[in-house]
Structure 1
Amino acid sequence: MYANSTGRYADLDKEYSPTKNSKRFLNTAQPDIVVIEQFLKITTEQTQNARKKYIVRESVTYRKNNFNASTVDNQVVDIYYKDKEHGSPIFVYIHGGYWQELDRHTSGSFVEPLVEQGYRVIAADYNLCPTVTLHGINEQINDFYEWLFRYANDTQASKISISGHSAGAYLSTLLFNKRIENWPGTERIVSFFLISGIFDLRECWSLPSVNPMNILNLDETSSKALSPICWELDLEFIEFAKRVNLQVYVIAAENDSDTFKGQSLAYAKKLEKHGLQIEFKIFQGYDHFDIIEDVPIKNSLINTYLLEKCINV
């Protein structure tokens, strides 16, 4: 479906396995293992440092529906800020992990650069498969968005930016086919950052490397129904986005697979076709993981880009 640069269809297991496309640690016996270990180490340290340096309200629930009390419930957010929680802009980060891994304890990479610019940073968590299905995660994130806009309205946020990485970028798109213009607080949205996202599940849902033992609970029909590339954008959302001059930044890494880059480009074109303000950019030198690791590193490519887009909107 997404041909590689030579025009041939690629090894899908590799194309949908971000660890196998990094150019780092090639002198090690298992570079794909080392790259994810490095990612977990760095993002955990960044989160721990953020918790030590700033005020953080941990495990604030957004849960709307009942959840199995015998299971840990991750329908929560951590809210980071420096001086005040009211009146400041909000930056949301939704983690990736193929809906199966990671959590808010590795979601602190954006905190320092944005809190230092006067933002509150909200690290959103959710329950993982197979505790819930992918459809169930989508429902949880929709509940999160309702909470977010109430919270933004109640605390008089000056503006809202929403970002997601990989599967988190997918979850960031859930608003694009919803009628949100009448929700209090939605007029504060100014931008989305979709980073190395996956937007089409139709050729990967059956891959054991992506969906082992079908823990996402998908089939051919549902994988299409749950693919943002296949969704009809809500017409009222489109008009709302135009009215507020919503900016959508679709970002990929040079060393993402051809398929990941192709999906990002295809999704950017889909949004642009509907008249949304889109910027598509491939960051040279980065892979699927260090594009997040480098966010707090001052003057790095991704740090500079992020702050420029946030400050100028």
Structure 2
Amino acid sequence: MSGEIDPKIVDWEAQYNNRALVPDHPAAMQRWRETAEAARAAHPPVEIAYGRGPREVMDLFSAGEGAPIAVFLHGGYWQALDRRWFSGIAPALLARGVSLAIPSYDLCPDVRLGTILRQVRVAVETVRERTGARPVVFGHSAGGHMAACMLSEGRASAAVAISGVFDLAPLIPTSLNKALDLDDREAAALSPIHWPVPNGSTPGGTVLDCLVGADESPEFLRQSRMMADRWGAHGVETRYEALPGLNHFTVLDPLFDPESAMVARIAGLARASA
């Protein structure tokens, strides 16, 4: 699959509306809720305010003083969910000796996407200030987009983007844009596919994994492969993988298993940067 848009794909709504694409997504999201509640009971996080707003707060699940750390950026197309939905991914990383920070952020349409990116920058920098090292940043969907942005800006030691959206232009004609209110200019400016490619002269890392569920839409597969190919051609250590049997929601399932390759990869990147 090339990085170019397939001209036969004209129904952008069908390609990017993941809840419609996966009719049983409520079951997957219910599992997120249940595992999150169990994780918070077993490993109560420390709440850290990184700004003044009620959503400018992150949960820190600590694996102990001096442990390497990763930051998870949640999805929801920048207009849904918060940190408490995803606490369930903490135990797997804790089992491997890696701390985890999960920030919430404000949502569209209450704020614009550029504001969300500014908040995420502050959250990641807050983690760096506490630990003295740039963290691994990984994220899902909208969070995958923001993880790549943090790597481009030199704020992350490495990034793992799971089902990311790296070119925002295809979202403009979809119902998702009602809250985002993107035009061509803003979509281009906020798309990391167009951002500076991290290299050896930048202070952060140069490793980007683009993971996606093999059962996701052709557009999500294209976006991840395009990003890996584009940045890889300019010197970034990229990896593209379509994970068999997983859709846009179940693609997070490996994060709940401390023995999964996904968790092992994130933990290894975190240890390498500590």
Common fold by TM > 0.5: yes
Q: TM-score under structure 2 normalisation?
A: 0.89
1-side partners of 2:68 and 2:160: how far apart?
A: 15
2-side partners of 1:165 and 1:244: how far apart?
A: 21
**1:295, distance to aligned residue in structure 2 (A):** 2.0
Q: Report matched runs for 1:17-96 at 5 Å.
A: 17-22=17-22, 32=23, 34-35=24-25, 37-58=26-47, 60-63=48-51, 67=53, 73-82=54-63, 84=64, 86-96=65-75
* Larger-gyration structure (1/2): 1
Does residue 2 in structure 1 map to residue 5 in structure 2?
yes
**Stretches (4+) displaced over 6 A:** none
RMSD of aligned Cα (Å): 2.2
2-side partners of 1:228 and 1:244: how far apart?
A: 16
How many corresponding residue pairs? 267
Unaligned runs of 5+ in 2: none
2-side partners of 1:109 and 1:264: how far apart?
A: 25
Counterpart contact for 1:42–1:293, Cα < 8 Å: no
Q: Report matched runs for 1:276-295 at 5 Å.
A: 276-295=236-255
2-side partners of 1:222 and 1:272: how far apart?
A: 25
1-side partners of 2:143 and 2:98: how far apart?
A: 20
Match of 1:99 in 2: 78
Match of 1:306 among 243, 257, 263: 263
Counterpart secondary structure, 2:170: coil
Unaligned runs of 5+ in 1: 23-31, 68-72, 181-185
Q: Report matched runs for 1:135-284 at 5 Å.
A: 135-153=114-132, 160-178=135-153, 180=154, 190-208=157-175, 210-212=176-178, 215-233=179-197, 237-240=198-201, 246-284=206-244
**1:97, distance to aligned residue in structure 2 (A):** 0.2
Q: TM-score under structure 1 normalisation?
A: 0.78
Deviations 1:137-171 (A, max 9, x none): 11111222221211121xxx6x7321000000111
Counterpart contact for 1:81–1:120, Cα < 8 Å: yes
